[in-house]
Amino acid sequence: MGVLNVTPDSFSDGGLHLDPGVAVSHGLAMVQQGAEIIDVGGESTRAGSLSVLDEVEMERVLPVVEGLCRQGVTVSIDTSKPVVAEAAFSRGAEILNDVRACREPGMAELVAEAGCGVVLMHMLGTPRDMQLDPSYEDVVAEVEEFLVERMERVNAAGVDPSSIVIDPGIGFGKTLDHNLSLIRGLKSLTRHAPVVLGASRKRFLGTITGASSPVDRDLATAITTTVGFLNGARVFRVHDVASSRQALALTAAIVAA
């Protein structure tokens, strides 16, 4: 899953793809590198970020969604707003990637009606306050409990269980130790649904490796992708597709041998 942020303020690539033509070209380039899904987002969810108006988010994402879908690309829309999701579905998006796990009223029903796939992610609090003081008794167990509850909720709303994948929300209301524990404990989540790992370029990788710039964390991301695969994750949300595809190819070959 290639990350395509059409925002001015995302932590890694904010401002790079605001022009719809540039964004579509970048999405197509990621497909050439091996991305099977392009995840289009128009609202930053980095720590401390604020929500944007529905109209602003739609102005950013809809031309890009439409442009990629015309080229036959499988697109996921990264949003928590039902009105944005509905507009993206009408333009060809096939998957909802929701950091709020369909907690907004009507979102689960919308996904059911559209017959789309959905990524349910765990987040403690909101992007504005999630990193102020995240605390858990048992982070793996608590994230698992939350995601199972959300799966049951969207299933009750009519979403096909086979359309649901889950994301532990690396970096979303977690400390470095919480992130490492979740990656190590991914197998607990794979008992319930396929798992998405979204650790790409995140701050904890820089804390461990000393890579202060997000773009210098692609090697660390690829290594995390390998570890995630070995621990059961099967979808990887990354900025640099080529390095993670190489890591997955090598890891899968070794496992198969």
Tens digit of each residue's pLDDT (9 = 90 or more) over 189-214 = 999 999 999 999 999 999 999 999 99
Sheet strands (E) in 34-105: 38-41, 75-78, 95-98
Tokens at 113, concatenated: 């009606």
User: Is-contact 84 211, C-beta < 8 A?
Assistant: no
Share of the chain above pLDDT 90, in %: 87
pLDDT in tens, 153-164: 999 999 999 999
Indicate if the pLDDT at residue 177 is higher than 60. yes
Look-up of token digits 């919308």? 110
The predicted pLDDT at position 18 comes to 74
pLDDT of the residue at 49: 65
Lowest mean pLDDT among 16-25, 165-174, 182-191, 211-220: 16-25
String of DSSP letters for 218-238: HHHHHHHHHHHHHTT--EE-B
Angstrom distance (rounded) from CA 113 to CA 40: 21
Computed over every residue of the chain, the mean pLDDT equals 94
The domain defined by 2-256 folds into: TIM Barrel (3.20.20)
Q: Which residues contact 5 (CB under 8 A, 6 or more apart)?
A: 12, 13, 14, 16, 17, 41, 42, 44
For residues 204-227, give the mean pLDDT.
Answer: 96
| Res. 101 pLDDT band, cuts 50 70 90 | very high
Neighbours of 118 (CB within 10 A): 27
Calpha distance 80→98 (Å, rounded): 5
Residue type, 111: V
Domain positions in the chain: 2-256
In sequence order, which residues have a C-beta less than 8 Å from that of residue 154 and are 6 or more positions away? 102, 108, 111, 112, 118, 120, 164
The whole-number pLDDT of residue 126 equals 79
Residue of 18 and 35 predicted with greater confidence: 35
pLDDT of residue 83: 98
> Would you state the pLDDT for residue 58?
96
Tens-place pLDDT, residues 33-58: 999 999 999 998 877 667 889 999 99
Does the pLDDT value for residue 15 go beyond 70?
A: no
Range 222-237 average pLDDT:
98
Q: Give 33 or 8, the one with higher predicted confidence.
A: 33
Which residues are designated catalytic?
202, 237
Confidence of residue 14 (pLDDT cuts 50, 70, 90): low
When pLDDT is cut at 50, 70 and 90, the band that residue 62 belongs to is very high
